[in-house]
Amino acid sequence: MCRVRVLRWIFVLYLAAVLSLTLWPALEDTSVPGWAAATVTFLAGVGIRTSVEVLEMAANVVMFGPFGLLGTVLVAWPAGAVGAQGVAARRRWPARGVALAVAGVGFVFSAAIEAAQLVIPGRVSTLLDVLLNGAGALLGAALAVVVLTTARRAAARRAADG
């Protein structure tokens, strides 16, 4: 149960970071954020050619990956199933169904952020950001299904062997 509590706190801190990154008024007057320009320059220096647009699109996907991963694990993982024996073979809900629901919540969360950005100085709201964030949540949720399924099968094997 202690591990689940730690995961919950990590999820809360992650959500706070996303909200602060996305809802804080933009301090830069340029359309290209400093971090993006610096990253593109660095990548070019090591032989990877990209653009600020591609980098920002990737950042939108990556930013919501933890939403899908942590959200799915926290909902699909049985309460009290984490301990010395690992993950129990029985789950509260099917992981795939939970993953789709969590990805949907991630999509709605992203849409709410983009709607709020409409009135925040220096922020730009786009439908593409919502779609990319939703894709990130879905990828994170899919990864969680793989992790949970693998852990459940390993626990079942250990129980059968031992």
CB-CB contact of 61 with 139 (8 Å) = yes
pLDDT of 148: 87
pLDDT of 93: 63
pTM over 0.85: no
d(CA 76, CA 46): 41
**Model confidence over 119-135: pLDDT tens digits?**
998 888 999 999 999 99
d(CA 76, CA 92): 6
Domain ranges, ordered by start, for the chain: 2-161
**Model confidence over 6-54: pLDDT tens digits?**
999 999 999 999 999 999 987 665 566 777 888 889 988 999 888 888 9
CB-CB contact of 120 with 23 (8 Å) = yes
pLDDT of 131: 98
pLDDT of 78: 64
